[in-house]
Homo-oligomer: A and B are copies of this chain.
Amino acid sequence: MPTRAPQQRRRRRPTASGVLLSKELITETALRLIGEHGPEALSVRRLGAALGCDPSALYRYFRNTDDLLLAIADRIIGDAMAGFVPGPDWVASLREMAMRVRAGYLAHPRAAAMASYRVTRRENEFRAVETGVGLLLSAGFAPARAVRLYLAFIDTVLSHAALDAACQALPREQREADEQAWTEAYQALDPAAYPALTSVREELRSMADSSFEEAVDLLLVALAARAPGHAET
């Protein structure tokens, strides 16, 4: 009778090409595949080919492709949050968390775009939520409020990061065309029909840049103002 836990792998049988498969290796290869050839390059068949195994072998490690996708997403979270330790200043700590998540997404823009709105329900996500909720509790918010405010915070961070990642994942041609729109199409508008846009014409170029930091900072200002103990106006 086997004494080991059933999910613990006991045997490691090499594939025809000699590779030893593992969840780790599969998620790494998938991430590399997406990074090199774009998100549409991720299919069970291509992943199998990249690993040197039969496509169906992957189903020994993941229930289906969604399961694999969640594993990839959780790995991105883990990489982004690796080594992060919250400090005494909860606002500054949340800010660093936001910047880390964004950096992690931008490091794998094409994978991030696929997974930003999912709940991975895996260890790295557990830890991140624990950290974020803990920071808001330490700020003095009551549990129900801390949870909702954390959700507003992390959704803003994740969705903004996904936006940036999606833009970065666009083909160069298309991205440049989008950026040029602000200095071309928007400069040629009829002043009578678009008075506000005309009066800010010189500033429209900055619409091509990310608003991530401003949006996060605005949100953190609002959070800080609502924290218990903060001097109300």
Contact = CB atoms under 8 A, between A and B. Distances in A.
Interface of A: 66, 116-119, 121, 126, 129-131, 133-134, 137, 143-144, 146-149, 151-152, 155-156, 158-160, 162-163, 166-167, 170, 174, 178-179, 181-182, 185-186, 189, 194-197, 199-200, 202-204, 206-207, 209, 211-212, 214-215, 218-219, 221-223, 225, 231, 233
| Main secondary structure on A side of the interface with B | helix
A143 B211 contact: no
A206 B117 contact: no
Given A66-B174, A215-B219, A199 B119 contact: no
Contact of A166 (B117, B196, B204): B117
Contacts of A167: 117
B200 A155 contact: no
A147 B221 contact: no
Given A155-B160, A155-B211, 4 more contacts: A126-B189, A137-B200, A156-B211, A218-B219
Contact of A129 (B137, B146, B197): B197
Nearest to A184: B121
A97 to B, nearest CB: 14
A156 B130 CA distance: 24
19 contacts: A121-B178, A126-B197, A129-B186, A130-B194, A131-B196, A133-B196, A133-B197, A133-B200, A143-B199, A144-B200, A147-B206, A148-B214, A151-B206, A152-B211, A156-B159, A218-B219, A218-B223, A219-B222, A222-B222
B186 A121 contact: yes
A147 to B, nearest CB: 4
A59 B151 CA distance: 43
Given A149-B214, A222-B218, A134 B178 contact: no
B203 A147 contact: yes
A206 B166 CA distance: 28
A184 to B, nearest CB: 8
3 pairs of A and B residues whose beta carbons are closest in the complex: A134-B196, A159-B159, A218-B222
Nearest to A232: B233
